[in-house]
Structures are given as structure tokens and as C-alpha cells.
């Protein structure tokens, strides 16, 4: 059975799906977190801005992942603008869509289950568990 949307609602549903898909990968979440709260014209250095303590590869591995996988996806949806040389990124025109989700998660960190907070450097500082 196919799910259909009312006229005009598919754009909203697609935006939510896109935003959650983008945030489903840790390097992309880390980059969004690094850019959050900055001016739209502020650039952050890559791969450092997308690095996570959970990443087990080298800096070069992360650079390649960002270049070939994560940055094109983020840029394709207007969440970031990036440059190859110097290797850096800044907020894109749709950045607020993913930034708002990260901000909502940090604001609600106390309400999240403990297993979603433990060892999460993003949310742990906001939780009083």
C-alpha cells in the first residue's frame, strides 16, 4: 500500500525526511554542531569541524569521506557551502532546518533516555542525569 500526501504537504514531509537523513551520520552532525551559532559567513576548517571522538579512521580517511560522501549531500540540500581549497565549510541557505533540530535536542536532553545521552559529547553537557 502506497502512502500518499495531501497536495502541498509532501514538501514539508520531504524537508523533515531530508533533515533527519542528514543528521543520521555522525560526521554530518558534528559539522552542523560546529557551524551552529556561527554567522552565515563564518567558515570552519575541515576535516576538524566534522571530527568525532568515535571516528576510528585517520584525518585523511575523514577528509575523503567528507569530500566524496557527506559534503556533496549537505551541499545538495543547501545545508552547507564548502570549498576544496582551503578545505572548509559554512552555513548554506537551508542550514537553519538542521540547526533547529540540534538545538531542540540539546534543549530536551533531560527528557531523552539515558542510553541516548551516555558517551554523547553533544548532549551529555545538557543532561542532568
How many helical (H) and strand (E) elements, i.e. helices and strands, does the chain have?
6, 3
DSSP state of 50: G
| pLDDT over 80 at 10, yes or no | no
Residues 6+ apart with CB under 8 A from 96: none
- The fraction of the chain above a pLDDT of 70, given in percent, is 91
Amino acid 119: pLDDT: 76
Domains, in order of start, for the chain? 27-126 (1.10.10)
| pLDDT over 60 at 49, yes or no | yes
What does the pLDDT look like over 87-126, one tens digit per residue?
999 999 999 999 999 999 888 888 888 888 877 777 777 7
Amino acid at each position: 500500500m502506497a502512502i500518499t500526501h495531501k497536495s502541498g504537504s509532501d514538501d514539508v514531509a520531504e524537508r523533515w525526511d531530508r533533515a533527519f537523513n542528514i543528521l543520521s551520520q555522525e560526521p554530518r552532525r558534528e559539522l552542523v554542531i560546529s557551524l551552529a551559532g556561527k554567522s552565515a559567513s563564518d567558515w570552519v576548517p575541515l576535516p576538524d569541524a566534522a571530527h568525532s571522538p568515535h571516528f576510528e579512521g585517520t584525518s585523511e580517511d575523514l577528509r575523503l569521506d567528507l569530500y566524496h560522501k557527506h559534503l556533496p549531500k549537505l551541499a545538495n540540500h543547501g545545508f552547507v557551502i564548502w570549498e576544496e581549497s582551503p578545505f572548509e565549510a559554512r552555513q548554506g541557505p537551508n542550514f537553519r532546518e538542521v540547526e533547529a533540530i540540534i538545538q531542540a535536542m540539546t534543549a530536551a536532553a533531560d527528557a531523552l533516555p539515558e542510553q541516548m545521552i551516555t558517551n554523547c559529547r553533544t548532549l551529555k553537557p545538557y543532561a542532568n542525569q
